[in-house]
């Protein structure tokens, strides 16, 4: 699918949504489509690994000293402290992928999005996924059946706060049909790859050669 000749800089594709709106499923679909050649950005965290998690797949698990040193050295694109644990995104692997003209997928919230946009504004494309209704969001959270009534209420409360942030995003998708939302995401990625500012360097060289023919 990637016909972006001449060379271009990669896209940082950020997906955000309240939990239950479909972000996790859409992220998995995007990653499983090998033609898209998307690399998921893996966060580092100081929290203990759960038995269901694999180091380097779900997170890279690091010590607090190491985390704080990386953060203070400006090596993180974004970071947050949640319940006494640190979470963050190392900058170097993302930069390496972008420089190859390949694209990175980020699954982060609006606070992370803000930080990444500050550091990589020209590369960032942010998409917010909305549920079709709060009723449907509640139904999806209940269907998962992994959370207690209290936790679901808490998640819905958080969802409302996050939904209110939709204006901070470049694109907004109302996820009332998973296949259609997936096709929208693919179109957004394909279009953004063709954006002129992203292709300035390669295109400059290409046009110069063209006009010297």
DSSP 8-state secondary structure symbol assigned to residue 21: S
Measured CA angle at 104 (ends 81, 32), to 5 deg: 105
The DSSP output letter for 36 is G
Strand partners of residue 88: 44, 79
DSSP string, 41-80: PPPEE-SPPPTT--BTTTBEE--HHHHHHHHHTT-EEEEE
User: CB–CB of 99/198 below 8 Å?
Assistant: no
The Cα–Cα gap between 9 and 177 comes to 31
Strand order in the sheet with 60-61: 60-61, 44-45, 85-90, 76-82
| 29 is a contact residue toward a copy of itself (CB under 8 A) | no
Nearer to a copy of itself, 85 or 158 (CB): 158
Q: How far is the CB of 142 from a copy of itself (least distance, A)?
A: 15
Whichever of 61 and 206 has its CB closer to a copy of itself, that residue is 206
Smallest distance from a copy of itself to CB 186, Å: 8
Which residues within the stretch 141-200 sit at the binding site for a copy of itself (CB under 8 A)?
Answer: 160, 163-164, 166-167, 169-174, 176-177, 180, 183-184, 186-188, 190-192, 194-196, 199-200
> Interaction with a copy of itself in 116-145: which residues (CB under 8 A)?
128, 130-131, 133-135
105 sits near a copy of itself (criterion: CB under 8 A): no
Which residues contact a copy of itself (rule: CB under 8 A)?
Answer: 3, 5-6, 128, 130-131, 133-135, 160, 163-164, 166-167, 169-174, 176-177, 180, 183-184, 186-188, 190-192, 194-196, 199-200, 203, 206-207, 210-211, 213
């Amino acid at each position: 699918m990637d016909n972006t000749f001449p060379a271009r800089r990669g896209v940082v594709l950020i997906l955000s949504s309240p939990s239950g709106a479909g972000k996790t499923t859409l992220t998995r679909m995007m990653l499983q489509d090998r033609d898209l050649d998307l690399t998921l950005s893996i966060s580092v965290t100081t929290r203990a690994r759960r038995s269901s998690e694999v180091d380097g797949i779900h997170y890279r698990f690091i010590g607090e000293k190491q985390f704080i040193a990386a953060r203070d050295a400006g090596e993180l694109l974004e970071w947050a402290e949640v319940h006494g644990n640190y979470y963050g995104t190392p900058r170097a692997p993302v930069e390496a992928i972008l420089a190859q003209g390949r694209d990175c997928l980020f699954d982060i919230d609006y606070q992370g999005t803000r930080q990444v946009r500050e550091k990589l504004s020209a590369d960032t494309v942010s998409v917010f996924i909305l549920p079709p209704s709060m009723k449907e969001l509640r139904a999806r959270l209940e269907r998962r059946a992994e959370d207690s009534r209290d936790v679901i209420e808490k998640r819905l409360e958080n969802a409302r706060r996050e939904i209110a942030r939709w204006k901070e995003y470049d694109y907004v998708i109302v996820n009332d049909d998973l296949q259609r939302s997936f096709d929208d995401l693919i179109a957004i990625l394909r279009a953004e790859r063709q954006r002129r500012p992203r292709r300035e360097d390669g295109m400059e060289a290409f046009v110069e050669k063209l006009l010297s023919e």
